[in-house]
Structure 1
Amino acid sequence: MTILTSIAVLSLAAWGWLLLGRGFFWRTDVRLPQRREPARWPPVAVVVPARNEAAVLRDSLTSLLAQDYPGHAEIVLVDDGSTDGTGDLARALAARPPLSVRRGGLPLTVVSPGEPEPGWTGKMWAVRHGVATARSLMPDLEYLLLTDADITHHRDSLRDLVSAASHSELDLLSLMARLRTVTPWERLTVPAFVLFFAQLYPFRRVNRPDSRTAAAAGGCMLLRDEAAQRAGYPESVHDAVIDDVAVARAVRDGGGRIWLGLGDRVRSVRAYPRLRDIREMVARCAYTQLRHSPVLLMLTVLGLLLVYAVPPVALLAGLAAGVPGAAVAGGLAWAVMAGTYLPMLRYYGLPPKVSLLLPFTAVLYLAMTVESAVRHARGRGAAWKGRVYTARPGTAEEGAGP
């Protein structure tokens, strides 16, 4: 057996394990759990951290203002040092909502906490003030809906989330919003991004009560306030760049039940029209996900090359060099890889042929991950809208893995 054949067989074995032994990460049927309307609708505060989000606020905030929720619910939007009029636009939308919103909807409070204190990320500083404001406005608060400023919600979203969380006795319920796939680069990279996230944090494994894997999708998280206080949230994750994973771990470690799934009617309107936009998004936090470890980076590079790059290389090289064992193993591994991608492509309404491009997309993400490490080495850390964060040993990011 040649070296090429051996590597191809190893890649095929890796895909066999991923297919059957990684929590069926490739399945897309983990949706909102069974819902039953509670006898009493609990009070809910919707907290929206927003920094320079005027471009998307008309869609996202309007969808929140229009929520049809039978109980007491209020929105707290935290203007995190915006320079584009985010806070003023939010007040204007609440004061003069479109006709569809005037039939009901939620009241809005806008607060501006100023620049974050040392040791806090901007988002968590905004969340801290949003949660504190919500608790002061609603002394009987039971749930917090933490949602990003680029996320739109169906009119019944809050009702559905609360019904599911209360019926299943969940302390943290989060939905992976359906991301935008309009431009060619978005169609190439966005479904793969969700697949890689599910591969790292298999939804079924996260949702098992006895699982050690903790994760959440930060765009839409319904958190029981009692569980938040028990976990010391948000102070306990004040320096977390990947705050959704950190809060899920804190809630689970505090004895809470967590659940993660795909959200059909929760959508992101954030646009990533160019490859540069996607690169900035990945490079901002990829090395943080690896806990700023050169060893983990090296293992990730080798692992991604083995799993994603070897199959097409082995197939083509095996055919060219007349090594049938390498060609067969590489072809089978590529077929399994493409097969695991098909459910996600169907979920996003994309043609099956895109699955054959997954090796190329994976290599793109690998290059972005390496760039993230290079940025960290140069002191640029995780940059987001004018702020740069570099996690320190012992901070929330150190324990953010599965």
Structure 2
Amino acid sequence: MTSTQTPGVSYVMPVLNEANYLRDAVLSILNQDYAGDKEMILALGPSVDKTDEVAAVLAAEDSRVRLVENPRGRTPIGLNLAIKASKYPIIIRVDAHSELEPSYTARGIETMFRVDAHDVGGLMDARGKNPLQRSIAAAYHSPWGLGGAAYHSGAPEGPAESAYLGIFRREVFDEVGFYDESLWRAQDWELCLRIRQAGHKVWFDPELRTGYYPRDEFEALAAQSYASGMWRGELARRYPAGKSLRHDLPPLMVAGTAIGSLALIIEPFLGRKTNPTVRLIWKLAKLAPVTYAGLVVYASATASRASNKEKFLMLRVLPTIHFPWAIGFVKGRLKGAQGTLDKGRVRS
């Protein structure tokens, strides 16, 4: 990388109730092994924990940390406020639950210039600080967890539909617009759609790794999964071409499991006079919940990054991801997301 390829970087981070993670996330950014100038812009939502105090200390300790207020607390609003307050030609979206590898910035910008991309992303390397969080991280890495998207399970380097977080050329926002503030989640996919429609590249580089700490409570995980499903359903409603087969599989699984569970109750009571075809259908339906349970056991047992305890926890983690997401997706697809919040992050 030459001196002309070390432009200044503005890192933008929407923050809400992240007191336990914010310091580590910000320090991993400020300590990036990158020769260019840096600034860190935190868009502070209405947190009810000590997030604002942590942010104020970080800003006092390092003049590169700047704070902007995001009274409504929505992620796309915070991102837009931070981007508009930025001063450097490269924008890197970061998350308070994420920690960047030291070479992340240098590698990402080098890749951007090398392939002439306008948005570059890499792997979301889920991690955990306790057994439950590590089991959720293992589920995220599993192709049976979040559907095997490239930024979860990996793929060869190349053009992508979307990018995790994202390293952007600042001018692309002036050209295609900022994040869609009506999308409270999944706004990155919609932005990438506009970037691709403008004739620019969105690029996946598996050498880029971002450490990510998922939720560490079942209730919070279920709330996050439900909200993610609702907003993915909203996207499918708005942009039918953006829906893929992997989005249909969880709803089919839920429907099949529900019908199969009903069959387990009804089938033994069917009389001898019942039509043979009807009886066969009910018998086959019983296989659905058994098959799903078998897949959960298989996925948990073969998780390569989990201890035995974490594999046992995955038996509950995987359904906690699948069922709320699937129910949310169907509701979002039929009725729209209707302002659904990720209640796992919003506290009272």
| Length-normalised TM-score, structure 1 | 0.61
Counterpart mapping for 1:1-400 below 5 A: 36=1, 39-96=4-61, 107-113=64-70, 115-116=71-72, 122-134=74-86, 138=87, 141-194=88-141, 195=143, 199=147, 201-202=149-150, 208-209=158-159, 214-217=161-164, 220-234=165-179, 237-240=180-183, 241-262=185-206, 265-270=209-214, 272-291=215-234, 300-303=250-253, 345-346=303-304, 349-350=305-306, 362-372=318-328, 381-384=340-343, 385-386=345-346
Deviation at 1:287, TM superposition (A): 2.4
Q: Indicate the larger mover: 377-386 or 49-58.
A: 377-386
When residues 64 and 357 of structure 1 are mapped into structure 2, their CA distance, relative to the original with a 3 A threshold, is: closer
Question: d(CA) in 2 for partners of 1:193 and 1:358?
Answer: 10
* 5+ long unaligned stretches in structure 1: 1-35, 98-105, 311-326, 388-402
Question: d(CA) in 1 for partners of 2:329 and 2:162?
Answer: 22
Question: d(CA) in 1 for partners of 2:322 and 2:41?
Answer: 38
Deviation at 1:251, TM superposition (A): 1.5
When residues 338 and 39 of structure 1 are mapped into structure 2, their CA distance, relative to the original with a 3 A threshold, is: farther
Deviations 1:332-383 (A, max 9, x none): xx79x959995xx44xx33699889988755443322255369878977234
Q: How many residues align?
A: 306
Deviations 1:237-285 (A, max 9, x none): 2212212222222221221111235567521245x33322211211122
Question: d(CA) in 2 for partners of 1:351 and 1:166?
Answer: 40
Question: d(CA) in 2 for partners of 1:274 and 1:68?
Answer: 34
Whether the 8 Å CA contact 1:77–1:111 is kept in 2: the answer is yes
Deviation at 1:133, TM superposition (A): 0.6
Deviation at 1:303, TM superposition (A): 4.8
Whether the 8 Å CA contact 2:162–2:192 is kept in 1: the answer is yes
Residue aligned with 2:166, SS: strand
* Identity percentage of aligned residues: 16
Question: d(CA) in 2 for partners of 1:379 and 1:386?
Answer: 17
Question: d(CA) in 1 for partners of 2:314 and 2:61?
Answer: 46
Amino acid in the other structure paired with 2:324: M
When residues 108 and 379 of structure 1 are mapped into structure 2, their CA distance, relative to the original with a 3 A threshold, is: closer
Question: d(CA) in 2 for partners of 1:280 and 1:191?
Answer: 19
Question: d(CA) in 1 for partners of 2:35 and 2:114?
Answer: 16
Deviation at 1:87, TM superposition (A): 3.4
Deviation at 1:232, TM superposition (A): 1.0
Question: d(CA) in 1 for partners of 2:168 and 2:29?
Answer: 17
Deviations 1:374-399 (A, max 9, x none): 98789772344449xxxxxxxxxxxx
Whether the 8 Å CA contact 1:285–1:382 is kept in 2: the answer is no
Amino acid in the other structure paired with 2:193: R
Amino acid in the other structure paired with 1:268: Y
Amino acid in the other structure paired with 2:15: A
| Length-normalised TM-score, structure 2 | 0.69
Whether the 8 Å CA contact 2:135–2:311 is kept in 1: the answer is no
CA RMSD between the two structures: 4.5
Q: Which protein has greater RCO, CA pairs closer than 8 Å, 6+ apart?
A: 1
* 5+ long unaligned stretches in structure 2: 238-242, 261-286
